[in-house]
């Protein structure tokens, strides 16, 4: 069965409040602008996801919320997984391997460098993953438990700075 995993790095975050813990940093003005724009572009290319999973970091969750709105999915369907925050490839694979097999199209929101390393692990390709970067990986898998090294290929890659209207 063909499954797709879309990795989305959180949109641009704010560094204005030095006293905030990293996990609490919000999106900045550019991030608030870019997230719905990128979500609309993605919606043109992709059907609605079956599952949305997000890091608990405020900036990642807010990005996930913007995509959910564009795809017409309620906020309460966003699953927050603590393992995504500051995760290694191994921890990210634990999250992926535990995805419900009823989910065929998954959006996962998180961070770098983990998402860049994960993309390379799953596809063998090195990709540039700036803030609000989007990479969709397709895999032929019976279950998410079978997802592993080299199992997929990139079918979509985009990020805000590729769009002159956002510059």
pLDDT tens string 12-23: 999 887 889 999
Prediction pTM value: 0.96
Q: What CA–CA distance (Å, rounded) separates 131 from 24?
A: 17
All structural domains of the chain with their residue ranges: 2-166
CATH superfamily of 2-166: Phosphoglycerate mutase-like (3.40.50.1240)
Higher pLDDT, 131 or 165: 131
The total of other beta-carbon atoms located within 10 Å of residue 102's CB is 7
Q: What pLDDT does residue 147 have?
A: 98
What is the rounded CA–CA span in Å between residue 56 and residue 101? 23
Phi, then psi, of 156 in degrees rounded to 5: -155, 135
Q: Is the pLDDT of residue 167 over 80?
A: no
**Is the separation of the CB atoms in 52 and 73 below 8 Å?**
yes
Burial environment of residue 67 by CB neighbours within 10 A (0 to 12, 13 to 18, 19 or more) = buried
Q: What is the pLDDT of residues 55-84, one digit of tens each?
A: 999 999 999 999 999 999 999 999 999 999
Structure-token match 């700075």, residue found:
161
């Amino acid at each position: 069965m063909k499954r797709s995993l879309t990795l989305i790095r959180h949109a641009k975050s704010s560094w204005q409040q030095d006293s905030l813990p990293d996990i609490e940093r919000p999106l900045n003005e550019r991030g608030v602008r870019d997230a719905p724009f990128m979500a609309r572009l993605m919606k043109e290319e992709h059907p609605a996801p079956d599952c949305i999973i997000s890091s608990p970091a405020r900036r990642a969750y807010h990005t996930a919320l913007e995509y959910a709105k564009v795809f017409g999915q309620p906020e309460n369907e966003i699953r927050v997984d603590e393992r995504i925050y500051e995760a290694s490839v191994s921890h990210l694979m634990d999250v992926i391997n535990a995805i419900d097999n009823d989910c065929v199209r998954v959006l996962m929101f998180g961070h770098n460098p983990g998402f860049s390393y994960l993309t390379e692990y799953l596809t063998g390709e090195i990709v540039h993953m700036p803030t609000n970067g989007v990479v969709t990986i397709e895999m032929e898998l019976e279950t998410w438990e079978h997802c592993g090294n080299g199992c997929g290929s990139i079918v979509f890659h985009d990020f805000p700075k590729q769009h002159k209207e956002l510059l």
